[in-house]
């Protein structure tokens, strides 16, 4: 789960001496919402659609008393004046989990990926990250899902997986969720590559595991509203 | 309609597709349907059909030559499954699968020759999960998709409506036709968040020229007759406005039944009778009453025969 597997490589870049107009055209042609700004091959900033909107707002204001059109001003304004300078960057070897934390604490929609010499290698956008977790969780694989109540993450999971293994069924993904804190209630969500989860359910129940009854669960949820 | 104008295909050849013990998709399913048929008042009246084998050209209307060959050799060489552990095979599976396609195509021919107006094919293995080149979810050849292609190529039928009420989404059928405006795929099934194969969301509506000719109606777990019937009727009304089919094919699966072991919906016999009536009414209005229904899933054997007959009764009643 590393950034290099999921980033958008060959990022769209402009140079420090490029104008706002050039930056806008680049974004349009490549249909991206963020571009990187580089100086002599090194990353110096990131310029997003949000920056563009803010830039245009202030230029429109200036144009009203300078007697120039917005386009004139965009043709002369350097992109460096409006970009986000020294943005938080990722290395390709950073983990997806780290990227997730950064997105969670800042309001960026994309993070530049650079090498050790600050040369731009790619961008990891929020969309890339969602796509990555969708893939990692096996959401789009053809699976059956089972929610098993477990008392602990290790020994119970081993028992569950051994039962699945005996039946020759492939596990596509495995997640834990603490569904309740007091008293603690832990759920193991299993995605299995089969149309028929029945043998697994029976084997686990025979071992004393409780499996969430989806029919009943849904009725309980409806009783909420 | 006169039950004598209704065809019923059932054939012992399907026993040749043997699956391992306790496998839900087993030969006893067809016997359960036979029992339902025999004990029903219409049973003696329907025109009975047996299955012939489909020729390779017909199967190739959907599947590649290489895929067909791969499946044939897997069966011949005694492998126990094909593409996934779900898909058990035996030596006779290839022959059974060819007869499943052949049985359906024979039924189409009987309709086109006006020997019958409509009919039900109790075939196995089922088909709606089978992709062009991939076996999935107990399915090897996509019987209904091949039938739709056959109607178009052999009989120049222009517009085909496929109704799929199996509890699982028919990913194979959807993918095969999703770019075509002349085959409408309508599926009602358990919501993909909770059930295999994880496709069939409302947002899947077709692609390119086929946009608007796929309609998915996913149902949350525990949905019973009270909710599905109005949803089904409303969907069919919407289809009526944009698509008047020359022929209707039905992927008739009975695994949304309340006691079915594989899913989490709560349909009763009434739902299936209702589907029959509504599909019959559509076909009578637009398709000269031409409806061929093809068995897909349905794994609660004590009721499978009754569910099939309830559906057929609804159909025959309205057609
Ligand atoms: Zn099914």
Q: Which residue of B has its CA nearest to A141?
A: B198
Q: Is residue A118 located within the same domain as residue A143?
A: no
DSSP states of B57-79: HHHTTTS-HHHHHHHHHHHHTT-
B129 neighbourhood in chain A, CB within 8 Å: 195
A218 neighbourhood in chain B, CB within 8 Å: 220-222, 264
Q: How many residues does chain B have?
A: 319
Q: Is residue A60 located within the same domain as residue A162?
A: no
Q: Is residue A23 located within the same domain as residue A125?
A: yes
Q: Is residue A95 located within the same domain as residue A11?
A: yes
pLDDT band at A225 (very low <50, low <70, confident <90, very high): low
CB-nearest partner of B222 from A140, A142, A218: A218
Catalytic residue among B63, B99, B129, B168: B129
Pick the residue of A167, A172, A191, A195 with the most B CBs within 10 A to test the interface with B by mutation.
Answer: A195
Interface contact flag, B221 A170, Cβ < 8 Å: no
Q: Is residue A107 located within the same domain as residue A43?
A: yes
Interface contact flag, A218 B129, Cβ < 8 Å: no
CB-count burial class (<10 Å; 0-12, 13-18, 19+) for A210: exposed
Query: Looking at the complex, does the CB of residue A195 fall below 8 Å from at least one CB of chain B?
Result: yes
Q: Is residue A80 located within the same domain as residue A162?
A: no
Cα separation values, A145 from A52, B24, B167, Å: 44, 18, 15
Q: Is residue A119 located within the same domain as residue A42?
A: yes
A168 neighbourhood in chain B, CB within 8 Å: 85
Q: Is residue A50 located within the same domain as residue A98?
A: yes
Q: What is the pTM of this model?
A: 0.88
- pLDDT at res. B32: 97
A193 neighbourhood in chain B, CB within 8 Å: 84
CATH number, domain containing residue A10: 3.10.580.10
Q: Which residue of A has its CA nearest to B259?
A: A215
Which run of H or of E encompasses A214? helix A214-224
Interface contact flag, B264 A218, Cβ < 8 Å: yes
Interface contact flag, B222 A215, Cβ < 8 Å: yes
Pick the residue of B128, B196, B224 with the most A CBs within 10 A to test the interface with A by mutation.
Answer: B196
What are B224's strand-pairing partners?
A: B266
CB-nearest partner of B222 from A144, A196, A219: A219
Q: Which of A91-100, A213-222, B53-62 has the lowest mean pLDDT?
A: A213-222
Dist. CA B306–CA B65, nearest whole Å:
38
- pLDDT at res. A72: 87
Q: Is residue A145 located within the same domain as residue A192?
A: yes
Give residue-wise pLDDT tens across range A148-171: 999 999 999 999 999 999 999 999
Of the candidates A110, A135, A160, which is a domain's last residue? A135
Q: Is residue A43 located within the same domain as residue A112?
A: yes
Give residue-wise pLDDT tens across range A6-51: 999 989 999 999 999 999 999 999 999 999 999 999 999 999 999 9
Q: Is residue A121 located within the same domain as residue A145?
A: no
Residues 131-150 (A) with a CB less than 8 A from some CB of B: 139-145
- Tell me the CA–centroid distance for residue A209 and ligand 1, in Å: 26
- pLDDT at res. A69: 86
Q: Is residue A115 located within the same domain as residue A142?
A: no
Between B294 and A184, where is the model more confident? B294
Paired tokens of A218: 């849904």
- Spacing of C-alpha B212 from chain mean position: 22
CATH number, domain containing residue A209: 3.30.70.260
Compute the average pLDDT of residues A167-188: 91
- Tell me the CA–centroid distance for residue B296 and ligand 1, in Å: 6
Domain that holds residue A202: 138-224
Interface contact flag, A195 B266, Cβ < 8 Å: no
Compute the average pLDDT of residues A98-125: 93
Interface contact flag, A215 B221, Cβ < 8 Å: yes
Dist. CA B30–CA B126, nearest whole Å:
12
Of the candidates A90, A120, A135, which is a domain's last residue? A135
**Torsion angle defined by CA atoms of residues A142, A144, A146 and A152, in that order, rounded to the nearest 10 degrees:** -40
Q: Which residue of B has its CA nearest to A220?
A: B222
- Tell me the CA–centroid distance for residue A195 and ligand 1, in Å: 8
Interface contact flag, A193 B84, Cβ < 8 Å: yes
- pLDDT at res. A216: 83
Q: Which CATH superfamily is domain B3-318 in?
A: Histone deacetylase domain (3.40.800.20)
Compute the average pLDDT of residues A101-121: 93
Report cis status (omega within 30 of 0) of the bond before B82. no
Interface contact flag, B262 A141, Cβ < 8 Å: no
Q: How many residues does chain A have?
A: 225
Of the candidates A89, A119, A135, which is a domain's last residue? A135
B191 is catalytic: no
Compute the average pLDDT of residues A65-86: 89
Name every residue whose Cβ is closer than 8 Å to that of residue A220 and which is 6 or more positions away in sequence: none
Dist. CA A33–CA A77, nearest whole Å:
19
| Distance in Å, alpha carbon of B250 to nearest chain A alpha carbon | 21
The overall longest dimension of chain B from CA atoms, in Å, is 50
Q: What is the pLDDT along chain B (319 residues), one digit of tens a residue?
A: 788 999 999 999 999 999 998 999 999 999 999 999 999 999 999 999 999 999 999 999 999 999 999 999 999 999 999 999 899 999 999 999 999 999 999 999 999 999 999 999 999 999 999 999 999 999 999 999 999 999 999 999 999 999 999 999 999 999 999 999 999 999 999 999 999 999 999 999 999 999 999 999 999 999 999 999 999 999 999 999 999 999 999 999 999 999 999 999 999 999 999 999 999 999 999 999 999 999 999 999 999 999 999 999 999 988 7
ipTM: 0.80
How many residue contacts between A and B have a Cβ separation below 8 Å?
Answer: 58
| Distance in Å, alpha carbon of B299 to nearest chain A alpha carbon | 11
| Distance in Å, alpha carbon of A132 to nearest chain B alpha carbon | 18
- pLDDT at res. A223: 66
For the cut 90, the answer to whether the pLDDT of residue A184 exceeds it is no
Residues of B near A (Cβ–Cβ under 8 Å) read: 22-24, 84-86, 129, 136-138, 168, 171, 193-199, 220-222, 261-262, 264, 266
- pLDDT at res. B1: 76
- pLDDT at res. A62: 83
- Three-state secondary structure call for residue B266: strand
Overall number of domains in chain A: 2
């Amino acid at each position: 789960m590393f950034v290099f597997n999921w980033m958008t490589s060959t990022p769209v870049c402009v140079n420090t001496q490029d104008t706002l107009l050039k930056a806008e055209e680049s974004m349009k042609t490549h249909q991206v919402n963020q571009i990187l700004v580089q100086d002599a091959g090194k990353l110096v900033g990131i310029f997003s659609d949000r920056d563009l909107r803010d830039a245009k707002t202030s230029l429109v204001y200036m144009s009203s008393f300078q007697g120039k059109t917005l386009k004139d001003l965009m043709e002369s304004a350097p992109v460096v004046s409006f970009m986000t300078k020294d943005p938080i960057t990722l290395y390709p070897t950073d983990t997806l989990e780290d990227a997730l934390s950064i997105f969670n604490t800042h309001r960026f929609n994309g993070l530049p990926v650079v090498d050790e010499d600050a040369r731009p290698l790619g961008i990891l956008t929020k969309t890339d990250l969602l796509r990555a977790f969708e893939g990692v969780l096996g959401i789009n694989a053809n699976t059956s899902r089972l929610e098993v109540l477990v008392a602990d993450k290790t020994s119970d999971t081993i028992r569950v997986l051994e039962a699945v293994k005996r039946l020759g069924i492939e596990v596509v993904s495995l997640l834990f969720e603490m569904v309740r804190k007091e008293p603690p209630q832990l759920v193991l969500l299993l995605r299995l590559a089969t149309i028929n989860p029945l043998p697994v359910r029976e084997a686990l129940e025979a071992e004393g595991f409780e499996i969430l009854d989806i029919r009943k669960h849904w009725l309980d949820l409806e009783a909420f509203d | 309609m006169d039950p004598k104008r209704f065809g019923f295909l059932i054939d012992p050849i399907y026993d040749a597709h043997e699956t391992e013990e306790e496998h839900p998709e087993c030969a006893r399913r067809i016997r359960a349907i036979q029992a339902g048929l025999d004990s029903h008042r219409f049973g003696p009246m329907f025109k009975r059909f047996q299955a012939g084998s489909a020729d390779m050209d017909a199967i190739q209307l959907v599947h590649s030559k290489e895929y067909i060959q791969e499946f044939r050799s897997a069966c011949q060489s005694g492998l126990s499954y094909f593409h996934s552990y779900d898909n058990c095979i035996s030596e006779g599976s290839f022959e059974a699968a060819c007869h499943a396609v052949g049985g359906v195509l024979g039924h189409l021919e009987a309709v086109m020759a006006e020997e019958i107006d409509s009919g039900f094919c109790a075939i196995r293995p089922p088909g709606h999960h089978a992709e062009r080149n991939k076996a999935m979810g107990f399915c090897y050849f996509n019987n209904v998709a091949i039938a739709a292609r056959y109607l178009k190529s052999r009989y120049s039928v222009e517009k085909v409506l496929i109704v799929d009420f199996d509890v699982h989404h028919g990913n194979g059928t959807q993918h095969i036709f999703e770019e075509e405006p002349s085959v409408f795929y309508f599926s009602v099934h358990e919501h993909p968040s909770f059930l295999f194969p994880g496709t069939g969301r409302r947002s899947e509506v077709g692609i390119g020229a086929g946009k608007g000719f796929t309609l998915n109606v996913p149902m949350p777990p525990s949905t019973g007759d009270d909710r599905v019937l109005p949803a089904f009727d409303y969907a069919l009304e919407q289809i009526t406005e944009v698509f008047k089919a020359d022929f209707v094919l039905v992927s008739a699966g009975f695994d949304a039944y309340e006691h079915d072991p594989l899913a989490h919906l709560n349909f009763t016999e009434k739902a299936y009778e209702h589907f029959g009536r509504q599909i019959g009414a559509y076909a009578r209005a637009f398709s000269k009453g031409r409806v061929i229904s093809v068995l897909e899933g349905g794994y609660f054997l004590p009721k499978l025969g009754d569910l099939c007959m309830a559906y057929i009764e609804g159909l025959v009643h309205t057609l």
